[in-house]
Amino acid sequence: MKLILRLIISLVLIVGLVALIFSYQQARQEEGRLKAELGKRADVIAESLKMLVEPPLTAGNTAFLQQIMDTFSNREKLEGVDVHDIAGNLVAISKGLSPQLDQDPHLLADNIAQVKLSGVGYGQIIGPYNKPVYVYSLPLITGHKITHVLSLFYNVDYIQERVHILWMNSFWRLLVQILLIAVAVCAIILLNVMRPIRQVTEWIRKVRKGEGAGELDARNEFLLGPLVSEIGKMAQSLEMARLSAEEEARLRHSGQSLWTPERLKEVVRLKLGDRPLFVVSNREPYMHNRNSKGKIECIVPASGLVTALEPVLNACGGTWIAQGSGDADREVVDQNDKIKVPPEEPKYTLRRVWIDKDIDEGFYSGFSNEGLWPLCHIAHTRPIFRAGDWEDYRAVNKKFAEILVEEMEGSPDPYVLIQDYHFALLAQMIKTRRPDARVALFWHIPWPNPESFGICPWYKDLLKGMLGADLLGFHTQFHCNNFIESVDRFLESRIDYEHFSVNREGHTTLVRPFPISISAGCVMPASNSSSHAPAIEDLLKPYNLQARWMGVGVDRLDYTKGILERLRAIENLMDKEPAFNGAFTFVELGAPSRTMIPKYKEFVDEIVQEAQRINARFKTKNWQPILLLMKHHSHADIAPFYKAAHVCLVTSLHDGMNLVAKEFISARDDEQGVLILSQFTGAARELRDALIVNPYDIGQMSQAIKEGLLMDNNEQAERMKRMRNIIKERNIYRWAGELVGQLTQVRL
């Protein structure tokens, strides 16, 4: 309350002082304006009266002169008129004015002197009898010279009254302003300061006690929003640290050990010491774009890779080298194309690389995504190999190699983590120039069998480039086997199957499986969760749909994801099981991907047409079997569908890992829901409690959907609990820790 009182008093004093200054200035201006108007009016009347007075004055007709004086008395605030000679002697005066002049015979001496000196009219306010009057004097000419002075007397009380009214209005206006300020200050402080503080205090209290505190939304707090947001983040970090500590203590007691960001940081510090780490990827961890208002915003692209590697770089303060893709990326870097990140607490360096648009098209859209992507996924889509695309691919790899070597200059024994199929040639380029560097390459997509891989015209170049790495990682052992077999088929080398390594020209490459996962922080026991699954009717209501059961699929609109097969399985379910007609709706949250490539655009059109065809067969007034939502969905958009769905379909025709399966499990803190998972995903080798299906078998998939929808709640809970434990223990931090750990053990 004292704070509010001090603020109100301070504001009142400031507003009062400002109002006083402006009121004084306004009063002075108004008084000057009224005096100027009075002077003009007096001059006009005096000139008119002068023409009447001069003739009788010249003729000496004092009687007629007196009559004129009396006629102009008490007219339009004119109290009287008189005539003096140039020596100051009274010649004629109007009725009612003589007694006052008699009291001060020298009253008009200044006016007469000014008129005599200048020969023109002169006016001023004088106060002969405790009542100020305005006296305007005009010279009278007889015999071609000034002999007399005509004076007009005006009552100026009205000027003082107007100024007084102006001051009174200012006073009342100030009083109203003070009251409004007091009310506004009280409202602002109570609603936008005290209330958020109370909310944050209560929220922190709940976090401290371990109660379900939910999320703290400060977007609408325009005064304390940033502060509330930062406090919320700090408290949430403390809560996550507390939960991690509790989980770590529990696991230590049971002889287990959970990988957390803190543990990953400690492992990195221990393993790397003071030696630098360099990460190379095509996608950058932070983008800078201009929003609709022209303001630069920093965006974190949705990526498991960022989640995994950020704790590593935060711990060692390394350098992340990536292609700049934001429309404002160039505006925020320094002269060396570098910027410190994360923005709120910089800990490592992001070095951006600029690729010409025409070269990037051949590198990314061409060889990477029309060549290597379909080649490795074996999804019955023919790869396209163009010599020009291959040259662009080599050029980009070479450019990244030059920049990486430049960044490593002066750093002895550096560590390098290269990410994904965009940089198959980079490891060899680096080792050629920096043999002291320890280089790891992680391949995030599948590796095909030798027969499939051999159709690439540059298969030997790709294998040689990848074998430049000291450590080569894939998601599964099956992919490692395929790679070793490809090397054995196409290159002269010595393969050690016992240690799973390849020795070529004196250099040894270790080949290891590192199954990637998601953050352990998002997988908590059900008892610690305060979230509730949204109602299906609430999710479908915006689309005027109703359903008893709901399924969900979350995918990039890519031909490897088995989306068409999934839709046809739903059609088969409707044909074979009429009980689900009108009761089951499948929601496909599809994000458009690589739309500049014709094959992808054709595939999206095919998905839309197939969904429309199936819906046309079965839909009713308030129901349809398939709801296709095509846009880029945020985690906040997807989470309610994960939580409410009875089944989640992950039916990839071929996939490296597929983290959607793990995201669905992590979202199900109610330990309900059924995961239907393709046998051709890396996740199927870990999540054996999912309903594993062959996505090419439409009948098997529709039967799995039926089984999942009708599965007993207890069985759902048992399966979900086991899968949640798996992804909690085999999380993204374990992936990064094991990858970095094995890299540091490489012998050069």
CATH H-level, domain 261-513: superfamily? Glycogen Phosphorylase B; (3.40.50.2000)
pLDDT tens digits along 701-718: 999 999 999 999 999 999
Q: Which residues are 353's β-sheet partners?
A: 323
What mean pLDDT, rounded, does the chain reach? 86
The fold adopted by the segment(s) 2-155 is Beta-Lactamase (3.30.450)
Confidence tier at 262 by pLDDT (50, 70, 90): confident
Closest by alpha carbon to 122, among 102, 104, 108? Answer: 108
CA atoms within 13 A on the CB side of 78: 24
Tokens of 448: 């095909």
Instruction: Look up residue 534 and give its DSSP letter.
Output: P
pLDDT at 302: 64
- Contact status, residue 314 vs residue 279, Cβ threshold 8 Å: no
Q: What average pLDDT score do residues 716-733 get?
A: 93
- Contact status, residue 476 vs residue 682, Cβ threshold 8 Å: yes
Instruction: Look up residue 15 and give its DSSP letter.
Output: H
Q: What average pLDDT score do residues 272-291 get?
A: 91
Residue 423 CA to residue 401 CA, distance in Å, equals: 10
Residue 448 CA to residue 455 CA, distance in Å, equals: 11
Residue 241 CA to residue 258 CA, distance in Å, equals: 13
Confidence tier at 253 by pLDDT (50, 70, 90): very low
Tokens of 189: 């402080």
pLDDT tens digits along 119-145: 888 888 887 555 778 888 989 888 778
List CB contacts of 519: < 8 A, sequence separation 6 or more. 307, 731, 732, 733
Q: Report whether pLDDT(528) > 50.
A: no
Tokens of 514: 């590192």
Percent over 90 (pLDDT), the chain: 50
pLDDT at 303: 65
Q: Where are the domains of the chain?
A: 2-155, 161-241, 261-513, 533-730
Q: Report whether pLDDT(256) > 60.
A: no
Percent over 70 (pLDDT), the chain: 88
Q: What average pLDDT score do residues 35-53 get?
A: 85
Residue 560 CA to residue 377 CA, distance in Å, equals: 7
Question: Does the model's pTM come out above 0.85?
Answer: no
Q: Which CATH class is domain 533-730?
A: alpha beta
2-155 against 533-730: fold identical = no
pLDDT tens digits along 424-440: 999 999 999 999 999 99
pLDDT tens digits along 335-384: 999 999 988 889 899 999 999 999 999 999 999 999 999 999 987 889 99
Residue 175 CA to residue 180 CA, distance in Å, equals: 9
Residue 600 CA to residue 535 CA, distance in Å, equals: 34
Q: What is the DSSP string of 237-282?
A: HHHHHHHHHHHHHHHHHTT-----HHHHHHHHHHHHTT--EEEEES
Confidence tier at 75 by pLDDT (50, 70, 90): low
Residue with the bigger pLDDT between 359 and 247: it is 359
Q: What average pLDDT score do residues 569-596 get?
A: 93
Q: What average pLDDT score do residues 290-306 get?
A: 81
Q: What average pLDDT score do residues 500-516 get?
A: 95
List CB contacts of 8: < 8 A, sequence separation 6 or more. 181, 182, 185, 186
Q: Report whether pLDDT(626) > 80.
A: yes
Q: What average pLDDT score do residues 618-644 get?
A: 92
pLDDT tens digits along 6-37: 777 877 788 778 878 888 888 888 888 888 88
pLDDT at 490: 96
Residue 480 CA to residue 226 CA, distance in Å, equals: 48
pLDDT at 409: 93
Name the maximum alpha-carbon separation found in the chain.
144
Q: What average pLDDT score do residues 410-434 get?
A: 95
CA distances from 254 to 249, 250, 251, 522 (A): 9, 6, 5, 22
Residue 649 CA to residue 651 CA, distance in Å, equals: 6
Residue 441 CA to residue 421 CA, distance in Å, equals: 9
In the structure, how many helices (H) and strands (E) does the chain have? 25, 23
Q: Report whether pLDDT(588) > 60.
A: yes
Q: Which residues are 125's β-sheet partners?
A: 134
342 preceded by a cis bond (ω within 30 of 0): yes
Q: Report whether pLDDT(44) > 90.
A: no
Highest mean pLDDT among 218-232, 244-258, 495-509: 495-509
pLDDT at 722: 96
Beta strands in 559-633 (DSSP E): 584-591, 626-630
Q: What is the dihedral of CA 271, 272, 274, 278, to 10 degrees?
A: -170
pLDDT tens digits along 472-487: 999 999 999 999 999 9
